[in-house]
Amino acid sequence: MEHEVVETLCMFERFFPPSFFDIMVHLTVHLGREARLGGPVHFRWMYPFERYMKVLKDFVRNPARPEGCIAESYLAEECVQFCSDFLKKTTSVEEKQERNTEYENSSILEGRPLSAGTAITLTEMEKNIAHLAVIQNMAALDPFVDMHLEHLQDTNPRCRRDASMLWSMHAKNYASWLKEKASYFTVFCIYLV
């Protein structure tokens, strides 16, 4: 393994930039020798201890007194764990049915809603706002937006000077203007046919 790792890294040098070869890539050169000298890794692995040290560090609430925070939080966690184990053994609590268990063997997984649906009635203003948002964001109607803006600038000199006035008038009148244009185009197309 030691010889093959060195050859593999030499082959990597042909394809990868020098920035790829950091300390972690170089570590693979030493893994074979380390396994031969140290034996199986689980006898000398520090990962579980490092992981638990992170848990203990997370207990710190006051950086001025880290040891006291760790001790207090550790004691609180032990108490909660003891109470939880005690209550599991002494009280019988009906377990909640898991969601979607009846659909496990089904070919279609269907969910159950978290709560009952609620009906919402929109006001006329909210309907107009939603309608305007839809017709302004349709790609097929983009040319009509430009046409309406040009129409407003041609008919109203204030819209030509003031951009905020132009857009407020556009928001107010675009839906009715588009409806009028659509009926005009429909009649025109019927006439052509």
186 and 135 both lie in a single domain: yes
**Domain membership flag for residue 98:** no
Identity of residue 98? E
Cβ-contact 25, 39 below 8 angstroms: no
pLDDT at 193 over 50: no
Cβ-contact 173, 151 below 8 angstroms: no
pLDDT at 12 over 70: yes
pLDDT at 104 over 60: no
29 and 3 both lie in a single domain: yes
**Domain membership flag for residue 84:** yes
Residue with the two structure tokens 């693979």: 28
133 and 180 both lie in a single domain: yes
**Domain membership flag for residue 106:** no
Q: Report which secondary-structure segment, H or E, holds 186.
A: helix 163-192
64 and 7 both lie in a single domain: no
**Is 0.85 topped by the overall pTM?**
no
Contacts of 160 (CB under 8 A, 6+ apart): 153, 166
Cβ-contact 132, 177 below 8 angstroms: no
Nearest to 147 by CA among 16, 158, 155: 155
pLDDT at 64 over 70: yes
**What share of the chain has pLDDT > 70, as a percent?**
81
Average pLDDT, integer, range 77-83? 92
What domain count does the chain have?
Answer: 3
68 phi, psi to nearest 5 deg: -65, -40
180 and 128 both lie in a single domain: yes
77 and 133 both lie in a single domain: no
Between CA 75 and CA 115 the distance in angstroms is 38
Domain membership of residue 17 as a residue range: 1-45
